[in-house]
Every structure is written in structure tokens, then in C-alpha cells.
Amino acid sequence: QVQLVESGGGLVQTGGSLRLSCAGSGSTFSSDTMGWFRQAPGKEREFVAAISWSGGSTYYADSMKGRFTITRDNAKNTGYLQIDSLNPEDTAVYYCAADKEFPVTSRYDYDYWGQGTQVTVST
């Protein structure tokens, strides 16, 4: 069993940056793939990025390449999503998730989810 708790969201101006955190607990977090998704109001939950258990491999959705950086620190049981050059279209609830496989881009394949953290980008 893996529990995930996101933090780091908030209100930020266009052009700003945020680093989201995902604190994991449970016996397998450090051996699981970690993924980030986001869901804007009225839209489907979409894949952002995934990172392998070791941190040695990453995978990004094509539309997310360049401004998003996924990392993890297994010593702290924490994963991160750095978002730069934020714009209003990035406004969404951001979720982290864990799974055994890599890369996993479908939200239906992830076994564990956090509760999400809200990111709001103002103009």
C-alpha cells in the first residue's frame, strides 16, 4: 500500500514558477514509478510526466516538454514537479500517482493517487 500527499500548489502570476512535492509512504514507494497528472475544470485528467523508481529515466507528454521537470529523492520518499513559465492554461489540480510499470501514461493504469494540489495562474 502506498499513500501519496501532494503539496506546493498555490496562486502564482503568469511567468512564475512552482515546485510541487509528492510525499510518499509505504513499503514500495521508492521502488515505484511516480507520475504527475493534471485536471483543469471541465477537462479530462491528463498525463504530465513520469519518472522511474531510480530517477534514472523520465518521460514527458509532448505538450509538457520544456517547462516541466520531474525529479525524485528516494531518501526523502518525495517526488517533485518543477513548473516554469506558468501561464493561465496551466491552472489545474495536479495529482501524483504511483505504479509498478514505466513509463505509464494512462491514468487508468496507476494504482495509487494523492488528493491533488491546486495550481492557479493569474494574468
Distance CA 106, CA 43 (A): 15
CA dist 91 → 12, 42, 77, 86 (Å): 10, 12, 26, 9
- Percent with pLDDT over 70 in the chain: 100
DSSP symbol at 107: G
pLDDT at 30: 82
- Give whole-number Cα distances, 8 to 2, 28, 55, 93, 117, in Å: 20, 23, 20, 11, 7
Given pLDDT bands bounded at 50, 70 and 90, which one contains residue 1? confident
Q: pLDDT tens digit string along 91-123?
A: 999 999 999 899 999 999 999 999 999 999 999
Length of the chain as a residue count? 123
Is pLDDT at 19 greater than 90 in this prediction? yes
Asked if residue 28 has pLDDT above 80, the reply is no
Kindly state the cell numbers that stand for 83: 513548473
Is residue 78 within 8 Å of residue 23, measured between CB atoms?
yes
* Residue 26, pLDDT score: 81
Model pLDDT for residues 36-94, shown as the tens digit of each residue: 999 999 999 999 999 999 999 999 999 999 999 999 999 999 999 999 999 999 999 99
